Structure 1
Amino acid sequence: MQQLLILCVDDEREVLDSVLHDIMSLSPPFVIDGAQSVAEAREAITDFEQQGGKLALILADHIMPDELGIDFLIDLNHTANTEAAKKILLTGQAGLHDTIEAINRGGLNYYLAKPWTQELLLNIVIEKLTDYVLEHCDNPMPYAQVLDGARIFSHVGQHRMDIKS
């Protein structure tokens, strides 16, 4: 089973800690990491890939000191090794133009406004991670316990039927 990374990026430590806390139930099987800047996030992705892992999902704030979250998501969407990652913008400050840019050029999979509830955030992350493993993992079954098990079982069952046909 390939190691998959969930990376959360927010320059405010309290917000970052809250996001990490809200999704911690997904570890294991996912590796969950946090970064307080885009530079730190890039480094975390590179280090994880060098260990043979893949970025599966990124939650990024928009307004950060050195680089905007939307610009970072656009870069990830145009890089071969991170293009497939699910991208969630978690912010309270992105305007309509920035959000449209993230959708059109950044492969944005979801926009979540601050403040959020733990239940909503976790449900969105589970939905997007389920999409990811069904699209990119040969065997999604190891993830069924923490993701949308019904969708995974249905997908596996349907693909078995396709193989037999």
Structure 2
Amino acid sequence: MNKYLILCVDDEREVLDSVIQDLDCFEEHFLLEAAESVQEAKHLIDEFEQQDVKLALIVCDHIMPETTGIQFLIDLNQQTSTQATRKLLLTGQAGLEDTVEAVNHSSLDFYISKPWQGDELRAAVKQQLTQYVLKNEKDLMPWASILDTEKIFEAVAQNRLSYGE
């Protein structure tokens, strides 16, 4: 089932390592990668796209050297191959204007302030991945034990009603 990628982007290595550690529970079913820059993130996205691995979720910091996380998320939202990607901003430095821009132009799906709690991050990621899978997978049952079981079962039941099974 590792045909989906979770990509975490932050220019501070310690923060990135902490995020990856908090999300390692998803590694059995998703590819989990880290990038210390937007350039590295773009390279990883391209590399995985060539292997037919889709970017399901990006967890991105805002303040980074070459471009902001919000601008990167806006860029991803404008590309067909990453438009469906769930976008989570994890930052302590985005002001109200930046956040509004992210919501309005990047289809930001979730926002978590630094410092974060591991449980809070895992719960948000689980919900975002559930939303992604519901919109992009035909066979939902294998995901029921990994993601939001209740939402997966509701979708399966709704699909059966829709198709008259």
Q: Is the TM-score greater than 0.5?
A: yes
Matched position secondary structure for 1:81: helix
Query: Which amino acid in 2 is paired with 1:88?
Result: L
Check if 1:160 corresponds to 2:163: no
| Runs of 5+ unmatched residues, structure 1 | none
Any residues of structure 2 matched to 1:50-129 within 5 Å, and which?
50-129=50-129
- In 2, the alpha carbon distance for the partners of 1:142 and 1:41 equals 28
Q: Which residue of 2 aligns with 1:136?
A: 136
Percent identical:
51
SS state at 2:29 partner: coil
Q: Give the whole-Å Cα distance in 1 for the aligned partners of 2:145 and 2:27.
A: 11
After TM superposition, the score normalised by the length of structure 1 is: 0.97
Report the secondary structure of 2:155's partner residue: helix
Name 1:36's counterpart in structure 2.
Answer: 36
Q: Which amino acid aligns with 1:12?
A: E
> Secondary structure of 1:62's partner?
coil
Q: 139-148 or 111-120: which moved more?
A: 139-148
Cα distance in 1 between the residues matched to 2:26 and 2:140? 14
- The alignment partner of 1:88 has SS state of strand
CA distance in 1, matches of 2:145, 2:101: 35
In structure 2, the gaps of 5 or more residues are none
Provide the alpha-carbon RMSD of the alignment.
1.1
Q: CA deviation at 1:2?
A: 6.5
My pick for the range that moved more, 87-96 or 132-141, is 132-141
Q: Secondary structure at the match of 2:8?
A: strand
Instruction: Check if 1:150 corresponds to 2:140.
Output: no
Displacement of 1:50: 0.3
